[in-house]
Structure 1
């Protein structure tokens, strides 16, 4: 039991520091004493399941990482990862389909934590299909990042590619810090592209202050000027649900709006 307590304490301390909280700040957010936080971190106190949930909520810890905390404290894992195609996930798929279709005629897509496309609406499919027809060696992948960064993919059509790519790489840098359990070399592979500037290799606090970035798609005689919003399942109790992202695109000018309405 003592080794469990010690391991949990080390993990929760790492999360507290990762989120930039002092023991007093975490205690205030969790409505417990800072002394109790200290005892939990040093292994002098054993956390209850309720305490793990309370601290996880205060630190905004992802569900998969919470399972690690439960195991470290000697408890069974609390959250499962379901295949989105399983029958019990039908309600989730139906909800996503409604969101995608309700966003028509504008593009919308659902992707997982590693940027693999899970679902897309007709408008998003049509744009992707157009790009495929223009590029004979279009990458055989459903990963958004691989399509975006590949010279044979969407990259030549993104007029402000540098701006978009830099913004996305900064997001990947932040996600690598925030979601420590995720095992992916996606960021490292993207940074290996020969023309990636050194300033993109590390996290930038200037980029973090930007709420969004526009995307300008150059289709030759027509330019589409778009911005997008990202949404998640805020009350997810399944790891797969929590990791899904819904991206919806909106027109920024009348030309773009009329293109999709026509």
Structure 2
């Protein structure tokens, strides 16, 4: 969306219309899901009616808005945000953090990463450090807290040893845009644009992904005499109620063949 078309933060009708259209829902579909009449929704979008707090929350649920966008819609309607992280440490986020770490450890000896906002690496397990070490050609005790878009754009061993770099980059962009279509990350705009401008990536983005025969995109690494094939499984929290944990993701890199599986098992046995 162009900057000049972004509605003002306190313009509830405009903010509501943007979210509904971004969700691909008609007024009738949205109204049915929210439990209100289409006429009432039409009045809300035209500014002829003002919503109650319960209606705003019902519309947020009907449109599948993330917590940050639900807060935005509440503020636009004149209500205090509901999902505002407490400044004091809370036991629930600590519990979530421990659970995420348990997922990383449970996936050993295979790589697993904890990501924030689908872009920033918060943590990796030993399997991920082993993969990073092999790709870089130097031993690493842990996975650097990098930005995945910067990693994809950075020249060097990681890019050169990822045989299907353009395919992996296009997959990353598609997933990022699907997850963050309603929540713009200005700090990533330049990196996303650079990646999308690559001619090979641009061509893949314009292709219909449904026309591809393979069920998943494999990450195909090659270094020395070793070839690895991995696919990604993503886990996220169901019904998060805290903005601090809403955008945490665990990415499990799963061996796609026996040779890749054995390489990680052998490395874990040695290390």
Alignment of 1:21-60 (within 5 A): 21-60=25-64
Paired with 1:106 and 1:198, the residues of 2 have a C-alpha distance of: 30
Aligned-residue CA RMSD (Å):
3.0
Q: Report the equivalent of 2:15.
A: 11
Q: 2:218 aligns with which of 214, 221, 226?
A: 214
Q: Paired residue for 1:224?
A: 228
Are the aligned partners of 1:170 and 1:208 in contact in 2 as well (CA < 8 Å)? Answer: no
Unpaired segments ≥5 residues, structure 2: 1-7, 267-271
Question: What are the ranges of 5 or more consecutive residues in structure 1 without an aligned counterpart?
Answer: none
The verdict on how the C-alpha distance between 1:173 and 1:39 changes in structure 2, with shifts beyond 3 A counting, is: same
How many positions carry a matched residue from both structures?
252
1:108-187 paired onto structure 2 within 5 Å: 108-113=112-117, 115-134=119-138, 142-180=146-184, 182-184=185-187, 186-187=188-189
The CA distance in 1 between the partners of 2:14 and 2:53, in whole Å, is: 17
Equivalent residue for 2:71, pick from 60, 67, 70: 67
* 1:44 alignment partner, SS class: coil
Q: Compute the TM-score of the two structures, normalised by the length of structure 1.
A: 0.84
SS in 2 for 1:241: coil
Shift of 1:15: 0.8
Check the 8 A contact 1:217/1:223 in 2, yes or no: yes
Map of 1:73-112 to 2, 5 A cutoff?
73-81=77-85, 86=89, 88=91, 89-112=93-116
Higher mean C-alpha deviation, range 14-23 or range 188-197: 188-197
CA–CA separation in structure 2 for the residues paired with 1:212 and 1:241: 27
